[in-house]
Amino acid sequence: IKIFFIFFYLISYSEISYAVEIDFTRYLSHHLPNDDKQNKVSFFGVNGPAYLYVCIPDPKTKLIIELNGIQIFHNGTNLSKKCFKEDIKLSKNNDLAAYFENFVDGKISIRIKQKADINLNVISRIHFNTNVKDFNISKAFYSILGFESLSGFPETNTLDMARAMGIENPTSYDGSQGGEAGGYLLYGELIGINDFRGGVIDLIEFKIPRNGDVPYEQLNHLGMVSATMYTSNLDHDYEYMKENGVNFISIPVTDSTGKKFVFFKDPDSTFYKLVEKSGKLQETKTTFIESLGEVTINVSDFERSRSWYKMFGYELLHENPNKYPLEISKALGFEKEIELKGGLFSHNEDKSKLELVQWIRPLDLERPYPIPINHLGIHRIALATSNLEADVEILKTQGVEFISDITPCCDGPNSSSGIVAFYDPDGTIIELAEMPWFAKILFPIIIWFRDLFN
């Protein structure tokens, strides 16, 4: 059975892709009265039509915008109107200049959007990566929750693989344990609930290079801040986990939709959300956790990121409430009421979930974890594709910034697949992996069995 679900893990459609229209935000800025009265920036675009959206809350403010040396906007005498939309044309490389007069109140918003038909081959989430300080301690912790080891992977690798992980300069690794000198040394395993059926965590201790910086201290930091685990008996699991020393940040609470949840931390203080979901109660020696759910990614602009992640097949299921009462705010670790904009997204093929959240209050716009991809916490998420080269070319045409070229993975010269990592609009790291040829053949059969079991 475990071998069967290992094949499920190596999923990748061979011939499934279709175009979707993406309304990209090519440029976005917000301006306050104390900002510079002249603002000049460069940004990426695609040759063709686009739209300029401007909102000026104070009617006394005058705004002039130039694009590539040509004036494209001036609110002039039309001072009663607050928001504007203009047709414009973009080049690949664009220079924008904004000039303000009588700007004493409010916040000016400038957004440029451009539509494009995107045809990627992404068909599933493979796993998300949690980096830990001590693998043995963390493995014991996740075992308490019911996670089991599913597969190991090489502790060393090529210099190309090191670069794919964002390791730009040779390390102190001497090559004595295999792989190439100057690369990385790690220990890790794929762990999961219910074999591969319940989702997978890529649990890694980086020994060389090592990064001991703590994960995000609060849930409002940009980047991947938490992941969800679903349980059929939250009260039992809360008591059981407390008895085993798990650090919860509050007691369980119930939100406005009737969903009961509580946040806890792993030994390195990575956040997880435990959510009760109806299910069959079965005898257990650990917890009633049945599966992994959404990974929560904090973003600086929900509208921009919503379109960007749609490229990869994630469609909005529902938007979250905007304001939360104090009880719920405290359950997230905040002593004052929070305000945010966000929603839950589902992949159109494998139904994996992402949650995108733009925090309004309290706001923290510090950048996500930088490279190398060895920071403690949830540092990357891996998605499976059936055509890595084609997807990379499409993403490059849309200005996506890559960490490295496509790299054979994950067994040196014997590798039968490839990976590549890149940044989302806020700098969160996403990874694409192409699976071996036999996984492509087996996938339709595996999906049929999965749907049968469901």
Q: Could you tell me which CATH number the domain at 23-118 has? A: 2.60.120.380
188 is written with which tokens?
């890790």
> Which residues make up the CATH 2.60.120.380 domain(s) of the chain?
23-118
Q: Report d(CA 75, CA 84) in Å as an integer.
A: 9
Residue 18: Cβ within 10 Å count: 11
The per-residue pLDDT string of the chain (454 residues; one tens digit each, 9 = 90 and over) reads 444 444 444 443 444 556 899 999 999 999 988 777 778 999 999 999 999 999 998 888 899 999 999 999 998 766 677 899 999 999 999 999 999 988 888 899 999 999 999 999 999 999 999 999 999 999 999 999 999 999 998 999 999 999 999 999 999 999 999 999 999 999 999 999 987 789 999 999 999 999 999 999 999 999 999 999 999 999 999 999 999 999 999 999 999 889 999 999 999 999 999 999 987 777 778 999 999 999 999 999 999 999 999 999 999 999 999 999 999 999 999 999 999 999 999 999 999 999 999 999 999 999 999 999 999 999 999 999 999 999 999 999 999 999 999 999 876 667 778 999 999 999 999 999 997 544 454 445 444 444 444 4
pLDDT of residue 5: 46
- Determine contact, residues 153/296, Cβ cutoff 8 Å: no
User: Between the CA of residue 12 and those of 235, 294, 408, 436, what are the distances in Å?
Assistant: 37, 20, 17, 8
203 close to 130: Cβ distance less than 8 angstroms: yes
Closest C-alpha to 125, from 444, 432, 443, 403: 432
Looking at residue 86, its pLDDT comes to 96
CA-nearest of 71, 61, 63 to 96 is: 71
Amino acid occupying residue 160: D
The CA-based diameter of the chain, rounded to the nearest angstrom, is 73
Confidence (pLDDT) at 181: 98
- pTM of the predicted model as reported, rounded to 2 decimal places: 0.92
Q: Note whether 98 and 73 are within 8 A (CB).
A: no
User: Nearest Cα to 135, choosing from 299, 226, 266?
Assistant: 266
Q: Hey, CA dihedral for 95, 297, 18, 401, is it positive or negative?
A: positive
Following DSSP, what letter does each residue of 155-188 receive, concatenated?
Answer: S---HHHHHHTT--S--S--STTSS-TTS-EEEE
Domain 2-16+121-453 has CATH 3.10.180.10: yes
* Strand locations in 119-235 (E): 122-131, 148-152, 185-192, 200-208, 223-231
Burial, 265: exposed, middle or buried (Cβ in 10 Å; 0-12, 13-18, 19+)?
A: middle
Per-residue pLDDT, 436: 56
Give ranges for CATH 3.10.180.10 in the chain: 2-16+121-453
